[in-house]
Structure 1
Amino acid sequence: MNNRAVLYPIAAVVFWAGNNLVGKMSVDVISPAAIAFYRWALAALLLTPFVLPSVWRVRRVIFRNLGRLTLLAALGIVAFQSLAYLAAAHTSATNMGLIGALVPLITLLLSVLILRDAPTVGAVVGGALSFFGLAILLGQGHPSQILDQGVNHGDAMLLAGATAYALYGVLIKRWILPLTTWQSLYVQILLGLIWLSPAAILSPSMALSGDALPLVIYAGIFASVLAPFCWMQGINKLGASRNANFMNLVPVLTTASAIPLLGETIHGYHLLGGGLALGGVWLSQKLKKTLWARTPEPA
């Protein structure tokens, strides 16, 4: 295997980490509805010449699966990304990276509930460790504070978005749509734009200023097109399991970039809570021994 293959997942996580910074930088520059809509509109425009011909050839397959694709678009294109942009005004880029890193663990837990996969030792131990770390992070070093004051609105939205994206991944695994990855993504983007249109129409401002334009370009090209491309190339060349390990770099890169670029301050609870949460995610990916046999699907 060519060692240069690792550059693909590294590039993908760099682009995604950068998108967390873009989300934070978009506050007071462009409305969440506007950046969400323009981002995916740009991605659709870029993908159309390459993907539309093949999508047209399988249009009957798409129409048969339109309901599922619509739900996937609502979860992956709309809920996950829009909640992140809304949350950016109420939380830090560091928290965006750390909470987003919980997606693989939440996916494992939802797989037990929806796909009836047998829970692994890693899912149980890692889940408990991540939950404790998350409580420290959200309670800013004092988990009991969550009971007294609740969770920061921004962090709550990030958790909801992470859960939506985890459910997105579980449903993709369950349904196994008869489309290529690019065909499926392209159709979801188009459907996502339909979902996003009402918010865009009702938004007080859809203005695209000179300050906002670079943010939209980054989100539309690097985070929406190049990152998925590099990630899929990494899976093809390295395998899904090895490729997935690189995802743990997203919060590290986000934090390392947010300190000099956004002037964010890292506190002890970020290191302790974030470290425990990431450690739990790592354990969930490494300890794959199941606690019991997979529950069979009902007849």
Structure 2
Amino acid sequence: MGGVLGDRSGRLGVTLTAALAPAAWGTTYLVTTQLLPEHRPMLAAVVRALPAGLILLAIGRKLPHGRWWGRAVVLGMLNIGLFFPLVFIGAYRLPGGVAATIGAIQPLLVAFLSVPVLSLRPSRRAVLAGLVGVGGVALLVLQGGARLDGLGVAAMVAGIALMATGTVLTRRWGRPEGVSMLDLTSWQLVVGGLFLVPVAAFTEGAPPALTGGNLLGFAYLGLFGTALAYVLWFRGIDRLGAGPASFLGLINPVVATTGGLLVLGQTLNGWQLLGLLLALGALVAGQPRPPRRVRPGQPAPAAPARVHTHA
């Protein structure tokens, strides 16, 4: 019994700490609009990724080896280098509610990508929870008359698809022996940040003079919203699995909406409250059921169904 309780408490601890990542990302819109320079999405992406990656690399002091050089590049581009610009394009061209609703499809994408990549068949419960999550987020954040920009929608969908792929590959590849999650995170942030430097220089030119508020915003996003958040996020994928971790992303629009209520004086109507409850319910339903206690003489529960594929 002690082992089962220990497993449950350990998993709960990992879940709660991993949830801090999308909670931090939910504050990004508020920090960006209130503290960062206007119309500088690529600068924000660079300053968010590269310094955080270099700090983590200086702490861990480990470089990839062997095939992990290639894997670090792939994961760094999927999770950071390509994801950041595409999501910023979507965020700047779409209302926040539309962007958040598109982002809520990530658990569904992860569930279906897990079939060919992880040989895991998504349960009907996970698919249903994913659909409810999208509906809940839509009710929570969509406003009447929201406009749809074709390029913005395409960029947002592509960005979410890339991160979903990165999430599944992070679960499949794990990490090399003797390498911490901090090291694995630093490689991806440095790869993505280095890619973004010339992109920012080409698209936005030299950075403007930064105010104290700008520096405070960049420090918050880099240290808390990126360095710490991504370490906890990848640790959650490693310990919980790609599917359960992806459902934690529903916390992002919940925190963003809450920030608007508390800081910007926005209000919550009845439909938004229903959406909030649906999103939180989908998040809980997307987590695996805890293992049942097996009594002496009772057969162990069956293992989850798997789909066997040939690599």
The answer, yes or no, to whether TM exceeds 0.5 is yes
1:225 and 1:214 mapped to 2: Cα distance?
15
Superposed displacement of residue 263, structure 1:
5.1
Identity of aligned residues (%): 29
Q: Bigger shift: 191-200 or 91-100?
A: 91-100
Structure 2 counterpart of 1:67, from 47, 67, 70: 70
For structure 1, the residue ranges without an aligned partner over 5 or more in a row are none
Aligned to 1:167: 165
Distance in 2, Cα, partners of 1:135 & 1:167: 23
C-alpha distance in structure 2 between counterparts of 1:190 and 1:166, whole Å: 20
> Judging changes above 3 Å, is the alpha-carbon distance between structure 1 residues 83 and 264 closer, same or farther for their aligned structure 2 residues?
farther
Question: In the alignment, which residue of structure 1 is the partner of 2:214?
Answer: 212
Q: Which has the higher contact order (CA 8 A, sep 6+)?
A: 1
How far residue 196 of structure 1 moved from its aligned partner, in angstroms, is 0.8
Q: TM-score, normalised on structure 1?
A: 0.73
Shift of residue 255 of structure 1? 0.8
C-alpha displacement of 1:76:
0.5
- Paired residues in the alignment total 284
Question: Counterpart amino acid of 1:44?
Answer: G
The Cα of 1:251 is off from its aligned counterpart by 2.5
Query: Matched residues in 2 for 1:102 and 1:278: separation?
Result: 15
Confirm or deny: 8 A CA contact 2:52 2:227 kept in the other structure: yes
Please state whether the residue corresponding to 2:287 is helix, strand or coil: helix
| Structure 2 unaligned regions, length at least 5 | 1-5, 291-300
1:76 and 2:74 correspond: no
Which residue is equivalent to 1:191?
Answer: 191
Q: Distance in 2 between matches of 1:259 and 1:217?
A: 24
Letter in 2 for 1:121: R
The separation in 2 between residues aligned to 1:232 and 1:72, in whole angstroms, is 11
* Contact 1:19/1:218 (8 A) holds in 2: no
The residue matched to 1:215 in structure 2 has which SS? helix
Residue aligned with 2:310, SS: coil
Following the alignment from structure 1 to structure 2, what is the Cα–Cα distance between the partners of residues 193 and 119?
33
Calculate the aligned-residue CA RMSD, in Å. Answer: 4.1
Q: Distance in 1 between matches of 2:91 and 2:99?
A: 8
Q: Which residue of 2 aligns with 1:51?
A: 60
Query: Residues 208-287 of structure 1 correspond to what in structure 2 (within 5 A)?
Result: 208-210=209-211, 211-229=213-231, 240=240, 244=245, 248-262=250-264, 264=266, 266=268, 270-271=272-273, 276=278, 279-286=281-288
SS in 1 for 2:82: helix
Tell me the amino acid that sits aligned with residue 38 of structure 2. V
Structure 1 pair 234/167, CA: closer, same or farther in 2 (3 Å)? closer
CA distance in 1: counterparts of 2:224 and 2:126, whole angstroms: 32
Asked if the contact 2:250–2:279 (Cα under 8 Å) also holds between the matched residues in 1, the reply is no
